[in-house]
Copies of this chain bind each other. A is one copy, B any other.
């Protein structure tokens, strides 16, 4: 592993191959990274994607995926998959959820059917999916939850993590994936520390920092990310959930995070927002009508090699499927390049200079236009990272 300040670059060895870190995981909510073919993800160098256990359990149903021989075979993806626990979606999407010490009951946001998840069941579901990295079921609390609720949720998350780990250790299948735990603790320093130290003592394969970008300020987010990562062991992989803008990814890398996932590059693409070195570009804008330039004249991706802003604008205006196909490809190419350059910068011990240089150019246009960023995207229209 290479280190440069807190930033680090290495390699994860998983059941479905190796993944260089830092790694950005495109989100494959419904067993597909939206508008992307698996061959294209492969060609982009993507070696790890995220699947959403909650979504897959509701549709098509885990039985369908198990029958297919697991999620990799079902979606024809040869490389690694990290699956979340479903906890975040239960708290953000499900109707009528009810939490008790044993687990959580909820109604599907799709058809209202009742479901029950426990820490043990979530491990079982992820084993059925054939996940390379499984996440323990955790409890996320909002910034205004209050000390008492935050402490209770944090303590329960730790007890659930212990049950998840016991369930994982009981699995006799040698091909079962690694299990990561999720640090909670809301926005209380001592709770974050207690959560991390209790989980680290249990010796999980890796750790995620949860309960961030749930409505707190950018400053609070940054403080609590740094604080939480500081409690994690250097030799284990670290994952921050729901991070996907270039700013937040580079910031997370700078404090020593290895893995991120977010719908940001794919969802913005479907909303006609292209990522460029000079910030984001809205392809719907009228000023692109006759613009023969590609999204980014210096981008070496095949989309920029063949298509103009004028053409892409037309495709979005005409609601053509090719519009999200091409823009998603470009945006994921952009994220892959960003991460690859970040890795190289860490290896060459020039990461802070790379980050500063990248962001000053990237932000210039937006600062000029007065936009504002959140960890999960540019604005409400683009929405959160829940899937």
Closest Cβ neighbor of A324 among chain B residues? B321
Which stretch in A164-172, A249-257, A311-319 binds the other chain? Answer: A311-319
Q: Is residue A105 within 8 Å, beta carbon to beta carbon, of the partner chain?
A: no
Q: How far is the CA of A63 from the CA of B318 in the complex (A)?
A: 16
A284-336 residues with Cβ-Cβ distance < 8 A to B are 289-290, 292, 306-308, 310-311, 313-315, 317-318, 320-322, 324-326
Q: Is residue A220 within 8 Å, beta carbon to beta carbon, of the partner chain?
A: no
Q: Is residue A383 within 8 Å, beta carbon to beta carbon, of the partner chain?
A: no
Q: Is the CB of B32 within 8 A of A290?
A: no
* Contact residues on A (Cβ < 8 Å of other chain), bracket: 35 or more
Which stretch in A68-76, A84-92, A118-126, A343-351 binds the other chain? Answer: A68-76
Q: Tell me how far the C-beta of A110 lies from the nearest C-beta in chain B, rounded to whole angstroms.
A: 9
Q: Is residue A341 within 8 Å, beta carbon to beta carbon, of the partner chain?
A: no
Q: How far is the CA of A96 from the CA of B315 in the complex (A)?
A: 27
Q: Is the CB of A310 within 8 A of B32?
A: no
Contact partner, A34, options B38, B310, B313, B322, Cβ 8 Å: B322
A64-B30 in contact given A74-B308, A325-B321 (Cβ < 8 Å): no
Residues of B within 8 A of A60 (CB): 289, 310, 313-314, 317-318
Contact partner, A325, options B37, B289, B318, Cβ 8 Å: B37
Q: How far is the CA of A76 from the CA of B31 in the complex (A)?
A: 30
Residues of B within 8 A of A34 (CB): 320-322
Q: Is the CB of B32 within 8 A of A64?
A: no
Residues of B within 8 A of A321 (CB): 32, 34-35, 321, 324-325
Binding site for B on A (CB under 8 A): 30-32, 34-38, 59-60, 63-64, 67-68, 74-76, 289-290, 292, 306-308, 310-311, 313-315, 317-318, 320-322, 324-326
Other A-B pairs beyond A32-B322, A64-B314, A67-B290, 4, CB < 8 Å? A34-B322, A64-B289, A64-B310, A67-B310
